[in-house]
Structure 1
Amino acid sequence: MDIAAVLGEFLTLFIMAFALGMDAFSVGLGMGLMRLRLRQIFYIGVVIGIFHILMPLVGMGIGRFLSDQFGTIATYLGGILLLILGLQMIVSSFKEEESRMLTPEGAGLFIFALGVSLDSFSVGLSLGIYGARTVVTILMFGVVSMFLTWAGLFLGRRVQGWFGSYSEALGGSILFAFGIKLLFAL
């Protein structure tokens, strides 16, 4: 395999992981204003990272099945799914309503982690249709989202919550662009 192609795929996956992790980053900014203990911040980041591994893994498995069954149609569906997901993230970043505040402990932490990783399932579905490398993809998503969650929580301790909506819009724009790329690659 060509080294340039491998590096290109790695960079693409990193950018997608970064885009998906921006949701966790923006929510982490808001939670960081709660003045969490360092141990809580550590656990929140790890749980978010694990969910960002599990959700795209399930999505990729379903996406590979669809790809084997439906071929090119499934690739178009994956691109459309990324477009819709990107648009949804962009639109939700401009909503005025405050998101509900869950406590980042116990069941609240798992609900929070599931909520911020649902978009990873959809992207995993698209990547499974596309045929991306599973291990590299899920590890990239997990590690990047864990570090972005930590960054959001730490930064949230220092700044106001105004930055969060812009980061979600940026993440949505990146996913939208990848959807367009996937649609026009055929």
Structure 2
Amino acid sequence: MTFLSIFIIALALSLDAFGVALSIGLNCRIKIINKIYFLLSFAFFQFLFAFIGAYSGTIFNKYVTCIPSIVGGAIVAMVGVMMIKNGMEGKEGYLLLNPKMYVILGISVSIDALIVGFTALSAIGNIIILMESSLFIGLVTLILTFIAFIISKFLHRIEFICKYADYIGGIILVILGLKMMFWT
């Protein structure tokens, strides 16, 4: 597998994390430390799932190809609905500040890496190259998530976006979740 192939796979896998990070970053209540935790979570789970999927091979490919997209999409959509609900209720305790959300969202945006590992990366065979490829996928996710948080920093300077960040972020997550479930 060529570097270009791995890079394209890494970009494709990172787009879900990018979209979620962008919607999370729109909220003014999310601090830098929270963004760092999300950034590390997304990158780690992308790496881990790509590696586990590739190491496990193609045995289960026939039976589980659609399940991860549905589960991950449902989780992302549910978080979006919960963000919208929190915005309507004006709650002070914010959903995304819960430490469990780092893991939940990290896993949900990375489940597709498991399938890519099963299908595309398992052909690599060499464990060292497999580890390097998986680390590269995690690194690309880290960089794209960082870029999403930078973009969101500039976007939430717009008063309208900051005021309705829960709704905007929630709607983005619901749409992203539906896309993950039905158009993957």
State the TM-score, normalized to the length of structure 2: 0.63
Q: Which residue, out of 132, 142, 146, partners 2:142?
A: 146
Q: Which residue, out of 107, 132, 136, partners 1:114?
A: 107
- The structural deviation recorded for 1:157 is 2.5
- 3-state SS in 2 of match to 1:158: helix
- Structure 2 counterparts to residues 1-186 of structure 1, below 5 A: 9-35=2-28, 36-63=30-57, 66=59, 81=65, 98=80, 100-101=82-83, 102-131=95-124, 133-159=129-155
Check whether the contact 1:29–1:157 (CA below 8 A) recurs between aligned residues: no
Check whether the contact 2:46–2:141 (CA below 8 A) recurs between aligned residues: yes
- 3-state SS in 1 of match to 2:33: helix
Alignment deviations for residues 54-100 of structure 1 (CA, whole Å, 9 cap, x no partner): 11111112116x39xxxxxx7xx5xxx5xx69x98xx99xx9xx554
- Consecutive unaligned residues of structure 1, counting only runs of 5 or more, are 1-5, 68-73, 177-186
- Consecutive unaligned residues of structure 2, counting only runs of 5 or more, are 84-94, 156-160, 162-167
**2-structure distance, mates of 1:48, 1:100:** 20
Change in CA separation of 1:52 and 1:104 when aligned onto 2, cut-off 3 Å: farther
- The structural deviation recorded for 1:152 is 1.2
**2-structure distance, mates of 1:110, 1:104:** 12
Check whether the contact 1:63–1:127 (CA below 8 A) recurs between aligned residues: no
Cα RMSD over matched residues? Answer: 3.7
